[in-house]
Every structure is written in C-alpha cells, then in structure tokens.
Amino acid sequence: MLIAEDLLLLSVDDETGKTASVDNLGVRLAGALLADLAAANRTLVKGGPQPGASKEERKQALDAYVQVTNNDPTGHAALDAALQAVLNTEGKAQAVVEAIAKDAEENLLAGLVERGILEKQETKLFAMLPVTRWPAADSAHETELRATLRKVLLEGAEPDERTATLISLIHGSGLVAGVVGKENRKAAEDRAEEIAGSDFGFATVATQVAIAATVATVAVVGAGVAAALILAASQANEAAEAAPAS
C-alpha cells in the first residue's frame, strides 16, 4: 500500500464515500507520491534552505530540485503515472508536484477500486448533476492503519519512518481529528506537530522528497509545519552526503 493511498483512504468517508474537505488534496497526494517514488528508489530531491535559515531564506524550498534516478516502471499504475510526470517535468519541486497533482487523486482512486478496497458509485444530484462517491468495500487495511496512528498520536508509540511521513502529511491536511476523534484532537495535534518537526523518519530520501514537495507548495496549501520539516530534511540530506559509501 502506498503512503499516498493511505492518505487518500483517510480522506474518504467509509460510509458516504465523500472526500473530506482538504485544501489542495491533489497537491498533498502528489507530495505523498513523491515520497513513495523515493522509497522505491526512483527519485531524489536536492536543494532547499540550510539549518538555521531565516523565513526569507526558507523560500529556497520553492527551488528544491527533484531528479529521477531510476526510470524503470514500479508496476503500480498510479506510481508509474507519477514517475512519468516527474520525467516530463524534472526540475523544481513546485513544478513537479503540480504536474503529479493533476491526475493523482483520479489514478489513486482507480487503483483502490481495482483492488477492491473502495467501490465506485455514480449517482445524480437532483436527477441532473452526476456525482461519484467512493465508499469502502474492504476496510481491513484502513482499520489497522488507524489503530497504528492512534497508538503513535495518543499512546506515545514511536513511529517508523513511513508512519512519521504519513503523520506529517495528515497533520498538514487537517485530518488528525478524523483519526483520533474530536475529543482527542488537541493532544493528537500536539503529538503530530512534534513528529512533523522532529528528526523522526528523516533518515531517507523518501521523507526528504515528501517534505520538499509540501514546502514547494506552501504558498498554496499553507502547511504550518513546512519550515521545520524542510530544515530537518536538509540536515538529513547533508548527513547522507557525508556518509561513506558502502
């Protein structure tokens, strides 16, 4: 299961099939897909502000560069479409994420329907306007995912890199309350911000790319924790470059 698929599943109501009101969901899914591409050793991000950078200097994140390191297909339709978008637009992160975002939601939904996780329901509003809903067909994975997230957000469990990346994305997307319930929202948001602004999961390129994509579109999506994330990503990138080759 892709990080992007998990983010989308958390954005869709299991019963009604309606997508949550998330600003620029396609952009956020594109950032998640970039993380998935990096985890599959297909892309790398370079550039961005240095640790201790000022607010003005942090705008360098808009110029972070996304590079394809392996153009072999992954075998996942949505991920391969994202890879092709990167190949067609390879360069500044903002342009890359915008290119991926165009078809990200549609491609991910199609894959989840094909695998029997979501169901596509087409109806008409007022017997005139076509409406498509995506209710759950098999909730087993999402149920397990939500349990894992709750353990990290409410019980203090340590997240692995993948979970930390997903938490950073749902935190910026306003989806935390939907995972833990309104009564636990404050505590969970504080924990999510701690994870998003810490060194959790910043050891690999995958998280670096996801964060760069988020920051590259900060002017559009208004991600509150973006600056802290890109600084952590820059530190991880420096550490990776300094590490001796194996």
| 217: confidence class by pLDDT, cuts 50, 70, 90 | low
- Name the residue with higher pLDDT: 245 or 39: 39
d(CA 25, CA 81): 17
d(CA 49, CA 62): 10
Question: Is 67 in contact with 213 (CB distance < 8 Å)?
Answer: no
The tens digit of pLDDT for each residue in 18-68 reads 988 777 788 889 888 988 888 888 987 776 544 444 445 545 556 678 889
Coil, strand or helix at 121: strand
Per-residue model confidence (pLDDT) at position 200: 52
Question: Is 45 in contact with 163 (CB distance < 8 Å)?
Answer: no
Pick from 219, 166, 176: nearest CA to 29: 166
% of the chain beyond a pLDDT of 70: 73
- Amino acid identity of residue 138, one-letter, is D
| 232: confidence class by pLDDT, cuts 50, 70, 90 | very low
Give the DSSP H or E segment for 156: none
In the predicted structure, residue 201 carries a pLDDT above the cut 50: no
Coil, strand or helix at 205: helix
Pick from 16, 67, 61: nearest CA to 211: 61
Average pLDDT along the chain: 79
In the predicted structure, residue 114 carries a pLDDT above the cut 90: yes
- Name the residue with higher pLDDT: 10 or 226: 10
Q: Where are the domains of the chain?
A: 3-237
- Amino acid identity of residue 187, one-letter, is A
Predicted TM-score (pTM) of this structure: 0.80
The CATH classification of domain 3-237, taken from the options 3.30.2140.20, 1.10.3630.10, 1.10.730.10, 1.10.3470.10: 1.10.3630.10
DSSP string, 164-204: HHHHHHHHHHT-HHHHH-GGGHHHHHHHHHHHHTSSTTTTS
d(CA 55, CA 149): 31
